[in-house]
Protein backbone atom coordinates (compact mmCIF):
# COMPACT_ATOMS: atom_id res chain seq x y z
CA UNK A 1 0.00 0.00 0.00
CA UNK A 2 2.84 2.40 0.81
CA UNK A 3 4.94 1.61 -2.27
CA UNK A 4 3.16 4.06 -4.67
CA UNK A 5 3.24 6.83 -2.07
CA UNK A 6 6.93 6.25 -1.44
CA UNK A 7 7.56 6.32 -5.19
CA UNK A 8 5.71 9.63 -5.49
CA UNK A 9 7.72 11.14 -2.68
CA UNK A 10 10.99 9.95 -4.23
CA UNK A 11 9.99 11.43 -7.60
CA UNK A 12 9.10 14.72 -5.93
CA UNK A 13 12.39 14.75 -4.04
CA UNK A 14 14.32 14.05 -7.24
CA UNK A 15 12.45 16.90 -8.97
CA UNK A 16 13.33 19.23 -6.08
CA UNK A 17 16.99 18.30 -6.43
CA UNK A 18 16.87 19.16 -10.13
CA UNK A 19 15.71 22.73 -9.45
CA UNK A 20 18.21 25.60 -9.77
CA UNK A 21 19.73 26.86 -6.55
CA UNK A 22 17.43 29.29 -4.73
CA UNK A 23 14.22 27.82 -6.21
CA UNK A 24 11.47 25.70 -4.72
CA UNK A 25 8.66 23.64 -6.20
CA UNK A 26 5.14 25.03 -5.64
CA UNK A 27 1.67 24.43 -7.01
CA UNK A 28 2.50 27.15 -9.56
CA UNK A 29 5.69 25.38 -10.59
CA UNK A 30 9.29 26.36 -9.67
CA UNK A 31 9.49 29.74 -7.93
CA UNK A 32 12.24 31.62 -6.06
CA UNK A 33 12.42 30.54 -2.43
CA UNK A 34 11.53 34.04 -1.19
CA UNK A 35 8.24 34.09 -3.12
CA UNK A 36 5.10 33.01 -1.32
CA UNK A 37 2.01 31.42 -2.86
CA UNK A 38 -1.24 33.04 -1.76
CA UNK A 39 -4.83 33.19 -3.04
CA UNK A 40 -5.98 36.02 -5.27
CA UNK A 41 -8.81 36.84 -2.85
CA UNK A 42 -6.27 37.38 -0.05
CA UNK A 43 -4.66 40.35 -1.77
CA UNK A 44 -7.51 41.69 -3.93
CA UNK A 45 -11.09 42.63 -3.17
CA UNK A 46 -13.18 41.20 -6.02
CA UNK A 47 -16.43 42.85 -7.14
CA UNK A 48 -18.60 42.03 -10.15
CA UNK A 49 -20.30 44.84 -12.06
CA UNK A 50 -23.90 45.74 -12.86
CA UNK A 51 -26.15 43.66 -15.12
CA UNK A 52 -27.34 45.36 -18.27
CA UNK A 53 -31.14 45.28 -18.60
CA UNK A 54 -33.77 47.04 -20.74
CA UNK A 55 -34.74 49.11 -17.69
CA UNK A 56 -31.17 50.37 -17.20
CA UNK A 57 -31.02 51.56 -20.80
CA UNK A 58 -32.74 54.80 -19.81
CA UNK A 59 -32.85 57.00 -16.74
CA UNK A 60 -31.67 60.24 -15.20
CA UNK A 61 -28.21 58.93 -14.26
CA UNK A 62 -26.80 57.58 -17.53
CA UNK A 63 -23.13 56.74 -17.01
CA UNK A 64 -20.36 55.22 -19.17
CA UNK A 65 -19.46 51.63 -18.37
CA UNK A 66 -16.96 49.06 -19.61
CA UNK A 67 -17.89 45.78 -21.27
CA UNK A 68 -15.68 42.77 -21.98
CA UNK A 69 -15.07 44.23 -25.45
CA UNK A 70 -13.30 47.18 -23.81
CA UNK A 71 -10.91 44.98 -21.82
CA UNK A 72 -8.06 43.60 -23.90
CA UNK A 73 -4.89 41.91 -22.74
CA UNK A 74 -2.92 44.61 -20.96
CA UNK A 75 -4.94 47.60 -22.16
CA UNK A 76 -8.33 49.28 -22.15
CA UNK A 77 -9.97 50.16 -25.47
CA UNK A 78 -12.27 53.19 -25.13
CA UNK A 79 -13.03 53.60 -28.83
CA UNK A 80 -16.61 52.45 -28.16
CA UNK A 81 -18.34 53.21 -24.87
CA UNK A 82 -21.81 52.17 -23.77
CA UNK A 83 -24.06 53.91 -21.22
CA UNK A 84 -26.64 52.77 -18.69
CA UNK A 85 -28.45 54.11 -15.63
CA UNK A 86 -26.69 53.74 -12.27
CA UNK A 87 -28.35 54.49 -8.94
CA UNK A 88 -26.32 56.57 -6.51
CA UNK A 89 -25.60 53.52 -4.34
CA UNK A 90 -24.42 51.61 -7.41
CA UNK A 91 -22.12 54.46 -8.40
CA UNK A 92 -20.47 54.42 -4.99
CA UNK A 93 -20.01 50.65 -5.14
CA UNK A 94 -18.99 50.23 -8.79
CA UNK A 95 -16.96 53.35 -9.62
CA UNK A 96 -13.57 52.50 -11.08
CA UNK A 97 -10.40 53.88 -9.54
CA UNK A 98 -6.88 54.09 -11.04
CA UNK A 99 -5.05 50.86 -10.27
CA UNK A 100 -8.16 48.66 -10.45
CA UNK A 101 -7.71 45.46 -12.45
CA UNK A 102 -10.54 44.31 -14.71
CA UNK A 103 -10.85 40.59 -15.49
CA UNK A 104 -13.27 39.16 -18.07
CA UNK A 105 -15.85 36.82 -16.56
CA UNK A 106 -17.09 35.67 -19.97
CA UNK A 107 -15.96 35.69 -23.59
CA UNK A 108 -12.17 35.50 -23.58
CA UNK A 109 -12.19 34.39 -19.96
CA UNK A 110 -9.47 35.80 -17.74
CA UNK A 111 -8.45 38.62 -20.10
CA UNK A 112 -7.03 41.31 -17.82
CA UNK A 113 -6.22 45.01 -18.05
CA UNK A 114 -5.58 47.84 -15.60
CA UNK A 115 -7.73 50.95 -15.28
CA UNK A 116 -5.66 54.15 -15.33
CA UNK A 117 -8.52 56.63 -14.85
CA UNK A 118 -8.71 57.54 -18.53
CA UNK A 119 -12.19 59.02 -17.98
CA UNK A 120 -14.01 59.87 -14.77
CA UNK A 121 -16.43 58.64 -13.68
CA UNK A 122 -16.59 55.21 -15.27
CA UNK A 123 -18.24 51.94 -14.22
CA UNK A 124 -18.41 48.35 -15.47
CA UNK A 125 -20.91 45.61 -16.22
CA UNK A 126 -21.41 42.22 -14.59
CA UNK A 127 -19.32 40.29 -17.14
CA UNK A 128 -16.25 41.94 -15.62
CA UNK A 129 -14.63 41.41 -12.24
CA UNK A 130 -12.97 44.40 -10.59
CA UNK A 131 -9.88 43.57 -8.53
CA UNK A 132 -8.90 46.24 -6.02
CA UNK A 133 -5.82 45.82 -3.85
CA UNK A 134 -6.43 45.06 -0.17
CA UNK A 135 -2.81 45.65 0.85
CA UNK A 136 -0.14 48.32 0.36
CA UNK A 137 2.47 45.74 -0.69
CA UNK A 138 0.72 44.93 -3.97
CA UNK A 139 1.56 46.34 -7.43
CA UNK A 140 -1.55 45.86 -9.61
CA UNK A 141 0.46 46.13 -12.85
CA UNK A 142 2.61 43.18 -11.79
CA UNK A 143 -0.49 41.04 -11.25
CA UNK A 144 -1.97 42.15 -14.56
CA UNK A 145 1.11 40.71 -16.27
CA UNK A 146 1.03 37.63 -14.02
CA UNK A 147 -2.57 36.82 -14.95
CA UNK A 148 -1.80 37.21 -18.65
CA UNK A 149 1.18 34.87 -18.26
CA UNK A 150 -0.81 32.34 -16.23
CA UNK A 151 -3.68 32.23 -18.72
CA UNK A 152 -1.95 32.52 -22.08
CA UNK A 153 1.46 30.91 -21.52
CA UNK A 154 1.45 28.67 -18.45
CA UNK A 155 -2.16 27.47 -18.74
CA UNK A 156 -2.48 27.47 -14.95
CA UNK A 157 -6.13 28.48 -14.72
CA UNK A 158 -7.53 26.65 -17.71
CA UNK A 159 -6.00 28.66 -20.53
CA UNK A 160 -7.78 29.30 -23.81
CA UNK A 161 -9.72 26.02 -23.47
CA UNK A 162 -11.78 27.68 -20.76
CA UNK A 163 -14.06 29.18 -23.41
CA UNK A 164 -15.70 25.81 -23.96
CA UNK A 165 -14.98 23.84 -20.80
CA UNK A 166 -16.12 26.55 -18.37
CA UNK A 167 -18.72 29.04 -19.67
CA UNK A 168 -17.80 31.76 -17.17
CA UNK A 169 -15.36 32.64 -14.44
CA UNK A 170 -17.14 32.90 -11.12
CA UNK A 171 -16.03 35.24 -8.37
CA UNK A 172 -15.38 32.35 -6.00
CA UNK A 173 -13.21 30.52 -8.51
CA UNK A 174 -11.25 33.66 -9.36
CA UNK A 175 -10.74 34.34 -5.66
CA UNK A 176 -9.28 30.86 -5.18
CA UNK A 177 -6.58 31.23 -7.84
CA UNK A 178 -3.07 30.66 -6.52
CA UNK A 179 -0.73 33.58 -7.26
CA UNK A 180 2.84 34.44 -6.26
CA UNK A 181 3.48 37.16 -3.73
CA UNK A 182 6.91 38.75 -3.61
CA UNK A 183 8.53 41.78 -2.04
CA UNK A 184 7.22 45.15 -3.19
CA UNK A 185 10.49 46.39 -4.80
CA UNK A 186 10.72 43.22 -6.87
CA UNK A 187 7.10 43.57 -8.01
CA UNK A 188 7.79 47.19 -8.98
CA UNK A 189 10.94 46.35 -10.95
CA UNK A 190 9.34 43.47 -12.86
CA UNK A 191 6.30 45.63 -13.67
CA UNK A 192 8.57 48.51 -14.78
CA UNK A 193 10.56 46.31 -17.17
CA UNK A 194 7.48 44.71 -18.71
CA UNK A 195 5.71 48.07 -19.06
CA UNK A 196 8.75 49.53 -20.85
CA UNK A 197 8.84 46.62 -23.30
CA UNK A 198 5.08 46.89 -23.79
CA UNK A 199 5.37 50.61 -24.54
CA UNK A 200 8.09 49.92 -27.11
CA UNK A 201 5.87 47.32 -28.80
CA UNK A 202 2.95 49.79 -28.85
CA UNK A 203 5.17 52.50 -30.37
CA UNK A 204 6.37 50.13 -33.09
CA UNK A 205 2.80 49.05 -33.83
CA UNK A 206 1.77 52.72 -34.05
CA UNK A 207 4.63 53.45 -36.43
CA UNK A 208 3.71 50.47 -38.57
CA UNK A 209 0.08 51.60 -38.68
CA UNK A 210 1.15 55.12 -39.70
CA UNK A 211 3.38 53.72 -42.45
CA UNK A 212 0.54 51.48 -43.65
CA UNK A 213 -1.78 54.51 -43.83
CA UNK A 214 0.89 56.47 -45.72
CA UNK A 215 1.31 53.58 -48.15
CA UNK A 216 -2.44 53.42 -48.84
CA UNK A 217 -2.57 57.16 -49.39
CA UNK A 218 0.36 57.05 -51.84
CA UNK A 219 -1.15 54.01 -53.53
CA UNK A 220 -4.40 55.86 -54.16
CA UNK A 221 -2.58 58.97 -55.40
CA UNK A 222 -0.19 57.14 -57.71
CA UNK A 223 -2.58 54.54 -59.09
CA UNK A 224 -5.26 57.14 -59.86
CA UNK A 225 -2.80 59.35 -61.70
CA UNK A 226 -3.41 62.25 -59.32
CA UNK A 227 0.24 62.11 -58.35
CA UNK A 228 3.05 61.38 -60.81
CA UNK A 229 6.44 60.04 -59.83
CA UNK A 230 8.28 62.22 -57.35
CA UNK A 231 11.02 64.45 -58.74
CA UNK A 232 14.18 65.84 -57.18
CA UNK A 233 12.39 69.18 -56.89
CA UNK A 234 9.58 67.54 -54.88
CA UNK A 235 12.16 66.02 -52.55
CA UNK A 236 13.89 69.37 -52.02
CA UNK A 237 10.56 71.05 -51.26
CA UNK A 238 9.63 68.29 -48.80
CA UNK A 239 13.02 68.52 -47.08
CA UNK A 240 12.70 72.29 -46.82
CA UNK A 241 9.22 71.94 -45.37
CA UNK A 242 10.46 69.41 -42.82
CA UNK A 243 13.24 71.64 -41.54
CA UNK A 244 10.87 74.63 -41.48
CA UNK A 245 8.56 72.59 -39.27
CA UNK A 246 11.53 71.60 -37.11
CA UNK A 247 12.56 75.24 -36.63
CA UNK A 248 9.00 76.31 -35.88
CA UNK A 249 8.54 73.59 -33.28
CA UNK A 250 11.87 74.47 -31.69
CA UNK A 251 10.70 78.08 -31.35
CA UNK A 252 7.34 77.03 -29.94
CA UNK A 253 9.13 75.03 -27.21
CA UNK A 254 10.16 78.32 -25.58
CA UNK A 255 6.53 79.37 -25.01
CA UNK A 256 4.15 78.27 -22.27
CA UNK A 257 2.72 74.73 -22.55
CA UNK A 258 -0.92 75.91 -22.68
CA UNK A 259 -2.98 74.25 -25.47
CA UNK A 260 -6.55 73.30 -26.33
CA UNK A 261 -7.79 69.77 -27.03
CA UNK A 262 -8.00 70.60 -30.74
CA UNK A 263 -4.45 71.96 -30.78
CA UNK A 264 -3.21 68.86 -28.97
CA UNK A 265 -4.69 66.59 -31.64
CA UNK A 266 -3.12 68.63 -34.42
CA UNK A 267 0.20 68.68 -32.61
CA UNK A 268 0.36 64.94 -32.14
CA UNK A 269 -0.62 64.48 -35.78
CA UNK A 270 2.42 66.55 -36.75
CA UNK A 271 4.60 64.63 -34.31
CA UNK A 272 3.55 61.35 -35.91
CA UNK A 273 4.39 62.62 -39.39
CA UNK A 274 7.79 63.98 -38.36
CA UNK A 275 8.60 60.85 -36.34
CA UNK A 276 8.21 58.80 -39.51
CA UNK A 277 11.24 60.65 -40.84
CA UNK A 278 13.27 59.52 -37.85
CA UNK A 279 14.60 63.06 -37.36
CA UNK A 280 13.08 64.35 -34.12
CA UNK A 281 11.53 62.97 -30.96
CA UNK A 282 8.76 65.06 -29.42
CA UNK A 283 7.26 65.27 -25.95
CA UNK A 284 3.87 66.54 -24.82
CA UNK A 285 5.51 69.79 -23.61
CA UNK A 286 7.15 70.64 -26.92
CA UNK A 287 4.48 72.95 -28.33
CA UNK A 288 1.95 75.58 -27.30
CA UNK A 289 0.32 76.45 -30.59
CA UNK A 290 0.84 73.66 -33.10
CA UNK A 291 -2.41 74.49 -34.83
CA UNK A 292 -0.97 77.47 -36.70
CA UNK A 293 2.03 75.34 -37.66
CA UNK A 294 -0.33 72.68 -38.98
CA UNK A 295 -2.09 75.13 -41.28
CA UNK A 296 1.25 76.61 -42.38
CA UNK A 297 2.39 73.11 -43.26
CA UNK A 298 -0.93 72.46 -45.01
CA UNK A 299 -0.48 75.60 -47.14
CA UNK A 300 3.10 74.67 -47.94
CA UNK A 301 2.07 71.17 -48.97
CA UNK A 302 -0.67 72.60 -51.18
CA UNK A 303 1.95 74.81 -52.88
CA UNK A 304 4.23 71.79 -53.41
CA UNK A 305 1.39 69.98 -55.21
pLDDT tens per residue, range 232-279: 555 555 555 555 555 555 554 444 444 444 444 444 444 444 444 444
Residues 70 and 123 reside in one and the same domain: yes
Residues 155 and 240 reside in one and the same domain: no
Percent of the chain with pLDDT over 70: 65
pLDDT at residue 209, as a whole number: 82
Residues 46 and 164 reside in one and the same domain: yes
Residues 217 and 253 reside in one and the same domain: no
Give the SS3 label for residue 38. strand
DSSP H helices, the chain, are 2-18, 40-43, 88-94, 140-149, 162-165, 171-175, 184-223, 232-252, 261-276, 290-304
Lowest-confidence region among 93-97, 262-266, 293-297: 262-266
Beta-bridge partner residues of 30: 25
Residues 23 and 61 reside in one and the same domain: no
CA angle 20, 22, 25 (to 5 degrees): 70
Residues 221 and 268 reside in one and the same domain: no
Average pLDDT over residues 210-235: 68
39 pLDDT higher than 60: yes
Residues 54 and 155 reside in one and the same domain: yes
Average pLDDT over residues 196-224: 81
Average pLDDT over residues 93-121: 94
Residues 168 and 252 reside in one and the same domain: no
Round to whole Å and give the CA distance between 187 and 37.
Answer: 14
132 pLDDT higher than 90: yes
pLDDT at residue 37, as a whole number: 96
Domain that residue 17 falls in? 1-33
CA angle 163, 167, 173 (to 5 degrees): 100
Residues 41 and 177 reside in one and the same domain: yes
Give the SS3 label for residue 124. strand
Residues 21 and 100 reside in one and the same domain: no
Look at the chain and report how many structural domains it folds into. 4
pLDDT tens per residue, range 59-69: 888 999 999 99
pTM metric for this prediction: 0.65
Residues 244 and 296 reside in one and the same domain: yes
Residue 18's CB: how many other CB atoms inside 10 A? 10
Give kind and range of the element (H or E) at residue 130. strand 128-133
121 preceded by a cis bond (ω within 30 of 0): yes
Q: What is the side-by-side strand order in the sheet with 44-48?
A: 44-48, 128-133, 101-104, 112-114
Residues 141 and 176 reside in one and the same domain: yes
Amino acid sequence: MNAPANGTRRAAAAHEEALPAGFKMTELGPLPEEWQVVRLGEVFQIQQGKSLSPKSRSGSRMRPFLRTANVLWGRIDLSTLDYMHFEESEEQRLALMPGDLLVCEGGDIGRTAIWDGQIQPCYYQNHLHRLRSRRPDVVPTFYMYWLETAWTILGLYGGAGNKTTIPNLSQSRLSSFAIPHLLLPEQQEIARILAAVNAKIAAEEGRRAALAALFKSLLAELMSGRKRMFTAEDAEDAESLFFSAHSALSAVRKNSPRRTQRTRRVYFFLCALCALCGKIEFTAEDAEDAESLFFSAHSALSAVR
